[in-house]
Structure 1
């Protein structure tokens, strides 16, 4: 992500070799498992290293304390989602705007639903970390991807592309969080996908600049 961690939350070092990357992956996975099993208040570095099968010394080679660890886990998750949205936007360039709406909704929901447990656990901790800049950077990246996609629509021209892109992505992300925090059952996710796609399609249609030959607007009616 473009945003770097606050000094107090920076990792001591980053893994450079495959073995080190596997160790950090195990620590991250153990963190998620402890969060889900014990809750944030009972999450300690001792519990994490026991579940990960590594030593406390190994943990502290990378993360100076639990808050830095949680920040790193959240950062990886946000990067995963932004990567998925970015890739989908690249694939969708030049499609009609209605297809773009479906593509955006699907990419975001699929990335979040790939690991329901991770998404739900990280919603629990995000507000307790000094993550304002990290979350803002993630939003900016996703909005930029969305704007780039919408700019390529052959059937729509938007007077304020950044505002439209922000509204579309914020609607998707905000609605998704509400559903995930309530449990995100398969039926709820299916309904969310359908309704969000309809909403985004309607908004994009209403927000486009009229083309020549379009019927006049009815104003506020």
Structure 2
């Protein structure tokens, strides 16, 4: 990178066949393992390939460099968080405000805690790479899901569900990573869930009119 150009973050190709998908999954899992054992600075494509049981050439078929690999792992992580929110919103359609708040918070934190050990390393990856587009895509998915959920609340109506959904998404995507700069123990996650649920419930109650 002596020419001053930023490395490409785009994968060379996407897996389509079952065997290719399994290979990329193994590469992703190996990347997480190396991040946990060595950290992002010492991670190399050679170490990842060795841990995944594939050749470096095979890894390069999908990812042109270390940065593209880390970018893809971060994208998968953020997509998992957005999907958790989407699923919670789908499962709580027609619920009351208290249930909505508890459901969204619980789902998001559960997805975070499922990857709690790797969260600090992924936080560093996001800081080092230009991950703004990835974060925007994940937050937008969450905003749309929460907005649709608010329209169906059983015990209230909101004047501007879009703005409220933006605010709630900003809270969970902005506040929770502060916890995740270090590995969050279970007790801390329980307290975080309690406090965020109270915050969400109070904000929704203050922002709605009776049905």
Interval of TM-score (by shorter of Structure 1 and Structure 2): over 0.9
Report the more deviating stretch, 15-24 or 168-177.
168-177
Residues 7 and 65 of structure 2 are in contact (CA less than 8 Å); yes or no, is this contact kept in structure 1? no
1:33 aligns with 2:33: yes
In 1, Cα distance between equivalents of 2:144 and 2:119: 22
Residue in structure 2 matched with residue 116 of structure 1 by the alignment: 116
Matched residues, number: 206
In 2, Cα distance between equivalents of 1:183 and 1:111: 14
1:99 aligns with 2:99: yes
| 1:47-126 equivalences in 2 (<5 Å) | 47-126=47-126
Q: Which runs of 4+ in 1 moved over 3 A?
A: none
Q: For residues 37-85 of structure 1, what are the alpha-carbon distances to aligned partners after superposition, in whole Å with 9 as ceiling and x for unaligned?
A: 1111111111111111110110010000011101111111111111121
Give the alignment's TM-score, normalised by structure 1. Answer: 0.88
In 2, Cα distance between equivalents of 1:33 and 1:194: 31
Q: For residues 76-125 of structure 1, what are the alpha-carbon distances to aligned partners after superposition, in whole Å with 9 as ceiling and x for unaligned?
A: 11111111211110110000011100000001001111122233321121
- Please tell me the root mean square deviation across aligned C-alpha atoms, in Å: 1.6
The Cα shift of 1:7 comes to: 9.2
Residue in structure 1 matched with residue 21 of structure 2 by the alignment: 21
Q: Return 5+ residue gaps in structure 1 as ranges.
A: 1-5, 213-221
Secondary structure of 2:158's match? coil
Give the alignment's TM-score, normalised by structure 2. Answer: 0.92
Residue in structure 1 matched with residue 189 of structure 2 by the alignment: 189
